[in-house]
A = this chain, B = another copy of it.
Amino acid sequence: MTEQNGYHLKSNGDHKDEYLFDLNLFQSIFKEYSLKDSKLHDNIYDEKYLFRPLAISDYDHGYIELLRQLTECGTITYDDFKKRFNQMKQCSNTYYILVIEDMNIDKQIVGTATLVCEKKFLRQLAIRGRIEDVVVHDRCRGQQLGKLLIDLLTQFARDKCGCYKVSLECKDHLVSFYQQFGYNHEDKQNFLCQRFKHLSTNQQETTE
CB atoms of A95 and B119 under 8 A apart = yes
CB atoms of B165 and A196 under 8 A apart = yes
How many subunits of this chain does the assembly comprise?
Answer: 2
**Interface set, chain A 150-208, CB cutoff 8 A to B:** 154, 158-172, 174-175, 178-179, 181-186, 188-196, 198-201, 203-204, 206-208
Interface of A is mostly: mixed
Q: A160 — nearest CB in chain B belongs to which residue?
A: B207
A71 sits at the interface (CB 8 A): yes
CB atoms of B119 and A88 under 8 A apart = yes
Q: A81-B121, A167-B192, A190-B191 are in contact. List 16 more A-B contacts (CB 8 A).
A: A25-B206, A72-B122, A73-B123, A76-B125, A87-B93, A87-B119, A93-B208, A95-B119, A124-B199, A166-B196, A169-B190, A171-B188, A171-B190, A172-B190, A175-B190, A186-B191
